Amino acid sequence: MPVRRVGLITHQGRPAAREAAQAVHDWCRSRGIRCTDIDVWAEDRRRGSREEADAAGDPDLLVTLGGDGTFLRGARIAAVNGAAVLGVDLGTVGFLTEVPAAEVTAALRAVHEGSAVVEERMTLTMRASRPLRIPSEMEALLRYGRGPALPPPRVRPETTEGEGWGVALDVMALNDVVLEKLVRDRQVAVGVYVAGRLLASYSADALAVATPTGSTAYSFAAGGPVLSPHMEALVFTPIAPHMTFDRSVVAAPDEPIALRVLPNSGQAAVSVDGQLRGVLDPGDWIGVFRAPHRVRLLRLHPTDFYGRLRDRFRLTDAPATAVDGPAAPFFRPETPIPPDLAGMRLPPPAAAR
């Protein structure tokens, strides 16, 4: 994809990110490509995704320099205009960013010449019983020591009024949508519906609905399963529930999940990819389901997801692995692939990892 307009999001707290940002600007300048810095941590006010994309000149490539949190901010902007996202890895435990800072110029060249690998990831969107809002007194508390919150999600034009379907919200989640309690001494009570049927009622600290990409984020930390990011599914995970059934539920991508705040509950906060977007009262509900659009991630090489999972969590550091010896003689991409494995997703050759 020839690059014409670049939007650059830099984690200013990391010196290596600022150095990489200079390399991106230099590369763009040498080719006459417009490169616009996007400040998603603005101290004065936060803008919605569409506003950020317009202010940056509607970029066709978003480059993020930081960890997964920085990447998620770029993905939110890229989703509104179909831009691709190149995540430069400066984090510690992330799964979304893969390009090393030292290879940012090579990655930009690969994208520009069309040799980069493009991965598409499932995203989530929402409907709600009413438009989301954050009470003014709560926003003042949230701003203490940090910038303002994102503006409330817009109501999309396809909203069906008066027919019980709620309002369609302009929301894109690459990782998860989380409903959580607002105060420590009062859990949130929620009725959970899967594909239109009541599954269970929970009293819990929070309830998360994640994509496969987000299965290694908050849902994983709460004991949820790890899903391959190449599949499509919704993962529902209760967090610290006060009930016997505390397991995750993996639903099909066309099975929406609805969360209704019960009358005996306290207020609940709605977070999208870690960003607070609204507060629900008892009786309110949200519906979370697969979005029609997907996020395009750019890589230098095919993703070695399981290798990254192994390395990030040090899965082979246990003492028992010392006697395991070399890997089993299976999946050797350096040699011709047998006919019965043709079409399988295999690990990339060692030289490409």
Active site residues: 68
Quote the CA–CA distance of 223 and 244 in Å, as a whole number: 15
Residues sharing a CB contact under 8 Å with residue 137, sequence separation 6 or more, in sequence order: none
Name the β-bridge partners of 285.
260
Of 178, 189, 267, the residue nearest 222 (C-alpha): 178
What b/e readout covers 97-110, taking b as 16+ CB neighbours within 10 angstroms? bbbebebbeebbeb
Could you tell me the two tokens for 240? 């610290």
Query: Shortest CA distance to 98 belongs to which of 131, 124, 121, 128?
Result: 121
**Residue 8: its H or E element:** strand 5-10
Please give the sequence-ordered ranges of beta strands (E in DSSP) within 75-212, or none if there are none.
Answer: 84-89, 99-100, 117-121, 124-128, 167-173, 176-181, 188-194, 197-204, 206-210
Q: Torsions phi, psi of 120, nearest 5?
A: -105, 135
Q: How far apart are CA 189 and CA 177, in angstroms?
A: 17
- Strands 124-128 and 285-290, by their bridges, are antiparallel
